[in-house]
Chain A
Amino acid sequence: MLEILDSSFDPGERLNSFSKTSGNAGGIASFIGRVRGERGDVSGLYLESYPGVTEKGIQSATDAAVKRWALVDVLVIHRIGTMSPGEPIVMVITAAEHRRAAFEACDFLMDYLKTDAMFWKKQTGADGEKWIEPRTEDYKDRERWT
């Protein structure tokens, strides 16, 4: 399942309802990415997507993860629009028969979202506005899965 939302969501609530419907999975791993405060320098974050294309890309990464780790269930939620520090941007939940598969698939999907998913991020802060692009570390993280 994939949801791209232009309004806030409650990760706790999502995890709760996911666990109720993920059947006989022995392990569930989840990750929540939030807007960093950067020592008070960041006042907001804006994210945009390429509607249709962004969804298609995430869906194929999700399909690949389901196949590679034999996932029982997976949920990716990603925000677009304007957000404040502390607000969740992304949530990935994976359910598998055993923990390792759930952890790894969650990690893999986050690496995809950080470097390959079609989103563009603009940060507003003390220095004005600037577009943020992936860091070298993000690309290195992604290489772990090839």
Chain B
Amino acid sequence: MLKVLYFGRLSDLAGRREEQFNLPERITTLSQLKMWLRKNRHLGEALDERYIKTMVNQKLVHEDLTLNGDEEIGFLPPVGGG
């Protein structure tokens, strides 16, 4: 199962903070998954904004990659605590 985590304002847009599901049919890459989420999770173009970072299995990724379907994927808007 794929685990998808939405942080900050992305959780408001997606209407959830995390979810688990099987990789949808014909989706094999991260960029295809983003396209799928855009349509199916009301995320519009939010995930494509240049300052949204993506983590796969808790590591930052900067390029597209092939998904096995058991990854943890996090979408991260700009961070800041304190």
Chain A residues packing against B (C-beta within 8 Å): 33, 47-48, 50, 52-53, 56, 78, 89-90, 110, 113-122, 131-134, 138
Contact = CB atoms under 8 A, between A and B. Distances in A.
17 contacts: A50-B55, A50-B58, A53-B58, A56-B58, A78-B81, A89-B81, A89-B82, A110-B82, A117-B79, A117-B82, A119-B79, A119-B80, A119-B82, A120-B9, A122-B8, A134-B78, A134-B79
Given A53-B74, A116-B79, A120-B7, 14 more contacts: A50-B58, A50-B76, A53-B58, A78-B82, A114-B80, A117-B81, A117-B82, A119-B80, A120-B8, A120-B77, A122-B8, A131-B77, A134-B79, A134-B80
Interface residues of B, number: 16
B76 A118 contact: yes
The interface residues of chain B, by DSSP majority, are classed as: loop
Nearest to B58: A53
B16 to A, nearest CB: 13
Contacts of B81: 47, 78, 89-90, 113-114, 117, 119, 121
A113 B77 CA distance: 15
Contacts of A116: 79
A119 B76 CA distance: 10
Interface string B1-41: 00001011100100001000000000000000000000000
A120 B8 CA distance: 5
A131 B82 contact: no
Q: Give me the 9 closest cross-chain CB pairs, A-B, nearest first.
A: A119-B81, A120-B8, A134-B80, A131-B9, A114-B82, A113-B82, A133-B78, A117-B81, A33-B82
